[in-house]
């Protein structure tokens, strides 16, 4: 639920707590924000989507990554350029949109300038997400002096955006716990180890050939760190997608979307369309629904969504239309996106003419996969650092795998530092675990329903092999079984009659919301079904009503009467909805439609967009330009860069590189002919004055 | 005729090789360019910051750059390509009496060569660059006809037209040897093929010494590493290239300007020089450059630094290029040793080399080739590199 100002007022999972109100101005108009929120979130909360107008073509630019990676959200704060997504709002701030280049402020003596900090450390970890935190904790346990740096205000990385309960192994990686809670636990654990020094708000800006790493400590002081061992756990960045209008304000990366919703409790629009059916897209869609945003559809290019089926089923049951074998053709809008046109694709992923559909939306969420943030790792390797990559920076996988990857890396670092052999067995076990947690979802089986309609029992709607096992530990009677050594196996209810007490712990705790309870004890013809529910639910509005119920995959199979809604603080923000349903459908029921998802679609082909497909966001270089150069025989990305400036902008090729590679492949350029961008420091732009040494200057 | 037979083969598709290929092919000379890297300008051209001045202390270089300036400044109208040329001028800002003396002595000669350069008082200089640090400023030279352009776009423009004129470019190809016949160069071997040509132009910059060895000759060129940086673009607030010749810490001189597209580019000469082929950036550069930049333009304190890189200067013992045929090795033509000025010298050199090859040299050009021959007596070190 939101008020007019796009702020989430109540959330089924998150406690809505805001800091002190502050007023600031946007373009001369007075706005309200809260301390502790970013400028970007404060602007979005005030309904502002256009942050700047591009210097090249004056096109409107909005938030895209909300992660300090791209530079689309650059605004002027009291005359100075700042990334709105990385800077906190402050009382009295004068925030303005950029119109092309800004005028360099006049010189004013800076009295707060600090000397360059030179520091040696046995271990430096870049990134305090699941991998970096886990590595630091392992090193902390051994008393190894370690510096952990992260560009955000809180440790936890993307865990801070994950409101859902995690999958994986409950014994090893916090499965069954919500991401936000895992972040808290890891941070707490980190705090217990005195050998770990943590710098937050401290982006790593460069890796240098003289084995130093430049860090902008607390966004105030330049530090040159000389580590004996470097661990790069910088995570991943989102891929952009190519379609006309792809940079219109309102088109957000999934991470940006989750940052706004789940960290900052603001919503960027009332209706969104999702592109991408991997776990990220499916989960982000679910988070949207939890925040009260309507999802008008989800398009996936492949014939099947690549994410876990339980994630897919959760949103299907809430009425989200899933368009597999569909692609986005274009985004519509002038200053801001207002609709998406999608189309079915053939077996070569080419859009089928006549299958176009235009869906109205306030925004488009792009979840087109992730790329490792590995440039620090690659450079350090080239410079002969002792360097390791952990987590997504090494290989894109689930956060649970990143936790294991961090531990694994710490073991390697320990053996390096102490000059002792690697603990082979331990390494091999961790490696195996990481592989399991990184497993792609496996085969789907038909749901097994027992013909026995008596007593009380759980019904398991989880029909795909995925690395997940919390349910097996939830049953107080130990009636749900997943082999300890094979968490990919599907859960089995092994209860002999009469043993299940109907305690509902499995219903509450399953991360996939894929367990229901059916109780025949009162009435075998009209048993009571207990469903987990994580969206806002008003007990008084639904008890006593007969509502449509769905099976596992969201098809309505009948109606059932809501008899009770249980909400309790002990239930980890999960409501239990109890229904009376006819025996014929009771065990198949997995969802309930509290309200209908009414979607405006237009079967007509959308009107032609005059928007271009942008490849380089920073310098606004179009696909047309780049494709023409590739077709003319240019396979060296550095030459494409030299001519078009693609990759030369503020972000340094962070989003365009993989898109240019895609076009190269489409044009049939052989992999070994492609020359990638030369990677150069800095990875983020920082003010020149921080490099001025007010203390001892080595150069003197 | 053999498919692999050319009039001229140029080694190196950089700041010098590409404009040379452009002028040669424009004159109808069948030209092949061999480049070890995957495309043009990937060695030192893309590391150049873009300054172009004719106000040198060596008359030959001054004359060549005068030609380059004419070519750069009229390129757009003549050939249609945007190369981001801007006539912003050059300023040598002076804060020390000794530098004032040096520059004023040089100024007498430069004026004698009819260069548009003058000494400006501190106030006059501040009206050219309002943000220049006025404290201790003694004045400086100002040459308004000098300027800057994009090395990347300029090179691509030459390349594009050279190709239109049927010049061939072979990338990802390494020279492995030279072939000789009757004591004359007759072609080259590469890792992919053999080619014949009666003239080979060594335009390989920092790598030309190595190529010379392959041909059995000694070209005294030492690669020297220079780091550079670029900021984000901001609204235009200064026009000229500013040079500060004071040595400071690990630097000798320092220079920077704001490009036509808004970014500030900056670079210094390390002291002592860093020799070798290492092109990896170090942590020394930004703190050192920041100090020098902010000393001159304090207003730059809040500009955000975008990127840094290293490039190589092919240094000769006296700071001037080696140009022209080598009498001891007929067929070998040198177009190298630009000492970090390959970009600004490139078009002028290309034109001169073309005239030498097509036999159309005038008297001034003859004299320049004499002055810049490999066999010149290398005694007088150029006053201001």
pLDDT digits over A370-389, tens only?
999 999 999 999 999 999 99
Residue A681 confidence (pLDDT): 92
Calpha distance B265→B149 (Å, rounded): 12
What's the number of domains chain B is made of? 2
- Rounded mean pLDDT of B286-299? 96
Partner-chain residue, chosen from B287, B298, B300, that has the shortest CB–CB distance to A116: B287
Asked if B137 and B227 sit in the same domain, the reply is yes
Partner-chain residue, chosen from B46, B283, B298, that has the shortest CB–CB distance to A224: B283
Asked if B281 and B332 sit in the same domain, the reply is no
Asked if A106 has any chain B CB less than 8 Å from its own CB, the reply is: yes
Asked if B308 has any chain A CB less than 8 Å from its own CB, the reply is: yes
CB contact under 8 A, A209 and B308: no
DSSP A215-275: EEETTTEEEEEEEEEEEE---EEEPP--STTTTSTTEEEHHHHHIIIIIS-B-S-SEEEEE
Q: Is residue B65 part of a domain?
A: no
In the numeric block, the tokens 């500060």 are attached to B244
Residue B2 confidence (pLDDT): 63
**pTM (global) more than 0.90:** yes
Q: pLDDT tens digits, residue range B321-375?
A: 999 999 999 999 999 999 999 999 999 999 999 999 999 999 999 999 999 999 9
List the single residue in A with minimal CA-CA distance to B236: A103
Partner-chain residue, chosen from B156, B287, B304, that has the shortest CB–CB distance to A697: B287
Asked if B138 has any chain A CB less than 8 Å from its own CB, the reply is: no
Chain A 158-177, residues with CB within 8 Å of chain B CB atoms:
none
Residue A448 confidence (pLDDT): 83
CB contact under 8 A, A688 and B301: yes
Partner-chain residue, chosen from A103, A209, A680, that has the shortest CB–CB distance to B234: A103
Asked if B237 and B306 sit in the same domain, the reply is yes
List the single residue in B with minimal CA-CA distance to A117: B287
Count Cβ–Cβ pairs < 8 Å, chain A vs chain B.
147
The pLDDT of residue B1 is above 60: no
- The token duo for A678 is 């030369």
Peptide linkage before A682 cis (omega within 30 of 0): yes
Q: Which residues of B touch A685 (CB under 8 A)?
A: 232, 304-306
Q: Using 50, 70 and 90 to split pLDDT, how confident is the model at A700?
A: very low
Asked if B228 and B310 sit in the same domain, the reply is yes
The pLDDT of residue A253 is above 90: yes
β-strand partners of A238: A370
Residue A604 confidence (pLDDT): 54
- Rounded mean pLDDT of B24-37? 98
- The region, left, alpha or beta by phi > 0 then psi within -120 to 50, assigned to residue A127 is left
Asked if B310 and B247 sit in the same domain, the reply is yes
- Rounded mean pLDDT of A390-419? 96
Asked if A80 has any chain B CB less than 8 Å from its own CB, the reply is: yes
Q: How far is A204 from chain B (nearest CA, A)?
A: 13
Q: How far is A211 from chain B (nearest CA, A)?
A: 8
Q: Is residue B102 part of a domain?
A: yes
DSSP A570-582: GGTT-EEEEEE--
Q: Is residue B276 part of a domain?
A: yes
3-class secondary-structure state, position A465: coil
What are the residues whose beta carbons fall under 8 Å from the beta carbon of B91, sequence distance 6 or more?
B120, B125, B128, B129, B140, B141, B142, B240, B241, B242, B243
Calpha distance B300→B281 (Å, rounded): 22
Structural domain ending residue among the three candidates B267, B292, B315: B315
Residue B150 confidence (pLDDT): 98
Q: pLDDT tens digits, residue range A189-236?
A: 999 999 999 999 999 999 999 999 999 999 999 999 999 999 999 999
Asked if B364 and B337 sit in the same domain, the reply is yes
For A484, other C-beta atoms within 10 Å of its C-beta total 10
Burial (CB count <10 Å: 0-12, 13-18, 19+), residue B220: middle
Q: pLDDT tens digits, residue range A611-633?
A: 899 999 999 999 999 999 999 99
List phi, psi (to 5°) of A421.
-65, 155
Q: Using 50, 70 and 90 to split pLDDT, how confident is the model at A609?
A: low
Asked if A107 has any chain B CB less than 8 Å from its own CB, the reply is: yes
The pLDDT of residue A307 is above 80: yes
Chain A 290-329, residues with CB within 8 Å of chain B CB atoms:
none
Chain B 203-232, residues with CB within 8 Å of chain A CB atoms:
231-232
Calpha distance A640→A632 (Å, rounded): 11
Asked if B217 and B332 sit in the same domain, the reply is yes
Q: Which residues of A touch B303 (CB under 8 A)?
A: 104, 687-688
- The token duo for B252 is 């000798």
Q: How far is B305 from chain A (nearest CA, A)?
A: 5
Residues comprising chain A, all counted: 700
Asked if B289 has any chain A CB less than 8 Å from its own CB, the reply is: yes
Number of H helices, E strands in chain B: 9, 19
Asked if B160 has any chain A CB less than 8 Å from its own CB, the reply is: no
Asked if B91 and B110 sit in the same domain, the reply is yes
Q: Which residues of A touch B299 (CB under 8 A)?
A: 104-107
Domain extent at residue B122? 87-145+222-315
DSSP A622-691: EHHHHHHHHHTT--BHHHHHHHH-TT-STT-STTHHHHHHHHHHHTT--GGGPBPPPP-S-SS-EEGGGG
DSSP A355-399: --EEEE-SEEEE---EEE--HHHHHHHHTT--EEE-GGGTS---H
Partner-chain residue, chosen from A222, A652, A688, that has the shortest CB–CB distance to B231: A688
Q: Is residue B172 part of a domain?
A: yes
Specify the CATH number for the domain of residue B239.
3.30.9.10
Asked if B287 has any chain A CB less than 8 Å from its own CB, the reply is: yes
Q: Using 50, 70 and 90 to split pLDDT, how confident is the model at B383?
A: very low
Residue A485 confidence (pLDDT): 86
- The token duo for A573 is 């923000």
What is the distance of C-alpha B58 from the center of its chain?
Answer: 14
Q: Which residues of B touch A104 (CB under 8 A)?
A: 234-235, 237, 299-300, 302-303
Asked if B13 and B41 sit in the same domain, the reply is yes
Helix/strand/coil percent split, chain B, to 5: 30, 30, 40
CB contact under 8 A, A699 and B251: yes
Asked if B279 has any chain A CB less than 8 Å from its own CB, the reply is: no
Specify the CATH number for the domain of residue B199.
3.50.50.60
DSSP A122-159: EEEEE--SHHHHHHHHHHHHTT--EEEE-SSSSTTGGG
User: Is the torsion defined by CA of B285, B291, B295, B297 positive or negative?
Assistant: positive
Q: Is residue B275 part of a domain?
A: yes
List the single residue in B with minimal CA-CA distance to A640: B39
DSSP state of A543: T
Burial (CB count <10 Å: 0-12, 13-18, 19+), residue A63: buried
Asked if B361 and B227 sit in the same domain, the reply is no
Closest CA to B352 of B73, B34, B61: B61
CB contact under 8 A, A383 and B152: no
Beta strands B274-275 and B241-244, pairing class = unpaired
Give the H or E element holding residue A472.
helix A470-474
Beta strands B241-244 and B147-148, pairing class = unpaired
Partner-chain residue, chosen from A103, A104, A699, that has the shortest CB–CB distance to B287: A699
3-class secondary-structure state, position B74: helix
Q: C-alpha angle with apex A646: A644 to A648, nearest 5 degrees?
A: 105
Mean per-residue pLDDT of chain B: 95
CB contact under 8 A, B156 and A206: no
3-class secondary-structure state, position A521: coil
The pLDDT of residue A608 is above 70: no
Interface predicted TM-score (ipTM): 0.94
- Rounded mean pLDDT of B304-308? 97
Q: Which residues of B touch A636 (CB under 8 A)?
A: 37-39, 42, 171
A378, A642, A651: best to mutate for the B interface, most B CBs within 10 A: A642
Q: Using 50, 70 and 90 to split pLDDT, how confident is the model at A495?
A: confident
Asked if B291 has any chain A CB less than 8 Å from its own CB, the reply is: yes
The pLDDT of residue A684 is above 70: yes
Calpha distance B12→A64 (Å, rounded): 42
A639, A672, A695: best to mutate for the B interface, most B CBs within 10 A: A639
Mean per-residue pLDDT of chain A: 93
Q: Is residue B385 part of a domain?
A: no
DSSP state of A620: T
The pLDDT of residue A2 is above 50: no
Asked if B141 and B239 sit in the same domain, the reply is yes
Structural domain ending residue among the three candidates B295, B315, B335: B315
Q: Using 50, 70 and 90 to split pLDDT, how confident is the model at A605?
A: low
3-class secondary-structure state, position A171: helix
- Rounded mean pLDDT of A273-293? 97
Q: Which residues of B touch A697 (CB under 8 A)?
A: 249, 287, 291
Domains of chain A: 21-103+240-366 (3.50.50.60), 117-236+372-437 (3.50.50.60), 456-592 (no CATH), 615-700 (no CATH)
Asked if B98 and B181 sit in the same domain, the reply is no
CB contact under 8 A, B305 and A675: no
Asked if B355 has any chain A CB less than 8 Å from its own CB, the reply is: no
Beta strands A387-389 and A221-232, pairing class = parallel
Give the H or E element holding residue B78.
helix B59-79
CB contact under 8 A, A682 and B305: yes
């Amino acid at each position: 639920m939101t008020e007019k100002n796009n702020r989430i007022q109540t959330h089924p999972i998150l406690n809505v707590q805001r800091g002190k109100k502050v007023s600031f101005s946007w373009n001369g108009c007075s706005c309200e924000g809260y301390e502790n929120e970013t400028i970007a979130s404060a602007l979005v909360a005030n309904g502002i989507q256009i942050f700047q107008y591009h210097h090249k073509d004056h096109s409107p630019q909005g938030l895209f990554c909300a992660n300090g990676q791209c530079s689309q959200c650059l605004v002027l704060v009291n005359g100075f350029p700042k990334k709105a997504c990385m800077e906190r709002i402050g009382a009295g701030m004068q925030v303005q949109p950029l119109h092309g280049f800004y005028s360099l402020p006049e010189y004013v003596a800076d009295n707060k300038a600090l000397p360059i900090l030179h520091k040696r450390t046995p271990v430096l970890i870049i990134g305090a997400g699941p991998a970096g935190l886990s590595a630091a904790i392992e090193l902390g346990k051994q008393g190894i002096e370690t510096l952990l740096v992260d560009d955000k205000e809180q440790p936890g990385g993307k865990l801070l955006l994950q409101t859902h309960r995690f999958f994986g192994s409950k014994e090893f990686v916090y499965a069954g716990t919500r991401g936000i809670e895992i972040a808290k636990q890891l941070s707490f654990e980190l705090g217990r180890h005195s050998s770990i020094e943590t710098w937050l708000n401290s982006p790593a800006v460069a890796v240098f050939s003289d084995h130093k790493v430049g860090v902008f400590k607390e966004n105030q002081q330049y530090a040159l760190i000389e580590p004996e061992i470097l661990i790069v756990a910088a995570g991943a960045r989102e891929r952009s997608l190519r379609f006309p209008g792809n940079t219109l304000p309102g088109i957000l990366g999934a991470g940006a979307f989750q940052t706004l919703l789940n960290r900052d409790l603001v919503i960027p629009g009332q209706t969104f369309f999702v592109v991408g059916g991997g776990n990220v897209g499916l989960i982000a869609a679910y988070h949207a629904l939890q925040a009260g945003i309507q999802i008008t559809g989800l398009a996936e290019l492949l014939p099947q969504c690549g994410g876990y089926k339980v994630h897919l089923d959760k949103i299907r049951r809430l009425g989200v239309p899933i368009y597999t074998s569909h692609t986005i053709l274009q985004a519509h809008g002038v200053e801001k996106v207002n609709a998406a046109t999608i189309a079915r694709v053939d077996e070569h992923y080419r859009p089928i003419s006549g299958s176009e559909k235009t869906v109205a939306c306030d925004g488009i969420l792009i979840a087109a996969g992730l790329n490792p943030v590995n440039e620090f790792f690659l450079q350090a390797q080239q410079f002969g650092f002792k360097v390791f990559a952990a987590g997504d920076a090494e290989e894109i996988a689930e956060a649970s795998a990143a936790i294991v990857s961090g531990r694994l890396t710490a073991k390697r670092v320990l053996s390096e530092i102490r000059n002792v052999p690697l603990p082979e067995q331990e390494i091999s076990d961790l490696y195996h675990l990481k592989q399991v947690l990184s497993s792609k979802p496996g085969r789907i089986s038909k749901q097994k329903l027992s013909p026995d309609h008596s007593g009380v029992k759980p019904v398991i709607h989880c029909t795909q092999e995925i690395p997940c096992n919390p349910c097996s530990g939830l049953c107080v009677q130990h009636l749900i079984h997943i082999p300890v050594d094979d968490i990919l196996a599907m859960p089995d209810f092994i209860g002999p009659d009469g043993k299940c007490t109907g305690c509902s712990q499995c219903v509450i705790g399953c991360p996939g919301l894929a367990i229901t309870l059916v109780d025949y004890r009162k009435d075998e013809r009209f048993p009571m079904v207990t469903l987990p529910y994580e969206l806002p639910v008003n007990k008084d509005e639904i008890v006593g009503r007969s509502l449509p119920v769905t099976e596992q995959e969201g098809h309505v199979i009948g109606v059932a009467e809501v008899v009770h809604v249980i909400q309790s603080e002990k239930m980890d923000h999960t409501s239990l909805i109890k229904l009376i349903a006819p025996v014929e459908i009771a065990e198949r029921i997995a969802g309930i439609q509290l309200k209908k998802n009414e979607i405006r679609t237009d079967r007509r082909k959308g009107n032609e967009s005059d928007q271009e497909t942008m490849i380089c966001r920073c310098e606004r270089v179009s696909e047309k330009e780049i494709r023409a150069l590739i077709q003319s025989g240019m396979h060296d990305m550095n030459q494409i860069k030299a001519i078009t400036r693609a990759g030369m902008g503020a972000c340094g090729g962070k989003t365009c590189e993989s898109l240019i590679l895609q076009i190269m492949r489409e044009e049939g350029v052989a992999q070994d002919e492609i020359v990638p961008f030369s990677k150069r420091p800095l990875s983020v732009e920082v003010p020149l004055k921080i490099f001025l040494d007010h203390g001892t200057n080595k150069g003197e | 005729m053999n498919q692999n037979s050319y009039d001229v083969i140029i080694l190196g598709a950089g700041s010098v090789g590409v404009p040379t290929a452009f002028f040669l092919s424009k004159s109808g000379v069948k030209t092949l360019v061999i480049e070890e890297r995957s495309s043009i300008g990937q060695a030192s051209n893309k590391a150049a910051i873009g300054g172009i001045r004719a106000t040198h202390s060596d008359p030959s270089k001054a004359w060549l750059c005068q030609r380059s300036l004419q070519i750069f400044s009229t390129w757009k109208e003549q050939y249609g390509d945007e190369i981001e040329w801007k006539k912003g001028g050059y300023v040598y800002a002076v804060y020390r009496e000794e530098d004032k003396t040096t520059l004023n002595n040089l100024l007498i000669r430069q004026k004698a060569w009819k260069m548009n350069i003058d000494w400006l008082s501190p106030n006059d200089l501040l009206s050219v660059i309002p943000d220049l640090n006025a404290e201790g400023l003694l004045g400086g030279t100002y040459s308004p006809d000098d300027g800057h352009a994009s090395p990347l776009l300029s090179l691509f423009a030459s390349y594009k037209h050279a190709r239109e004129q049927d010049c061939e470019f072979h990338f990802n190809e390494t020279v492995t040897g030279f072939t000789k016949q009757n004591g004359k160069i007759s072609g080259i071997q590469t890792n992919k093929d053999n080619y014949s040509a009666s003239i080979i132009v060594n335009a390989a910059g920092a790598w030309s010494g190595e190529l010379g060895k392959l041909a059995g000759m000694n070209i005294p060129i030492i690669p020297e590493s220079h780091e550079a940086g670029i900021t984000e673009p901001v609204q235009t607030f200064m026009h000229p290239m500013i040079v500060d010749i004071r040595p400071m810490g690990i630097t000798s001189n320092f220079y920077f300007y704001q490009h036509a597209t808004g970014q500030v580019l900056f670079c210094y000469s390390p002291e002592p020089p860093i020799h070798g082929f290492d092109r990896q950036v170090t942590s020394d550069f930004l703190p050192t450059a920041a100090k020098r930049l902010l000393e001159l333009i304090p207003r730059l304190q809040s500009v955000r630094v975008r990127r840094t890189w290293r490039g190589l200067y092919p240094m000769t013992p006296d700071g001037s290029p080696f140009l022209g045929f080598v009498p001891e090795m007929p067929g070998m033509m040198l177009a190298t040793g630009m000492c970090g000025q390959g970009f600004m010298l490139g078009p002028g050199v290309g034109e001169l080399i073309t005239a030498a090859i097509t036999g159309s040299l005038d008297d001034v050009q003859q004299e320049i080739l004499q002055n810049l021959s490999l066999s010149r007596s290398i005694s007088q070190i150029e006053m201001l590199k």
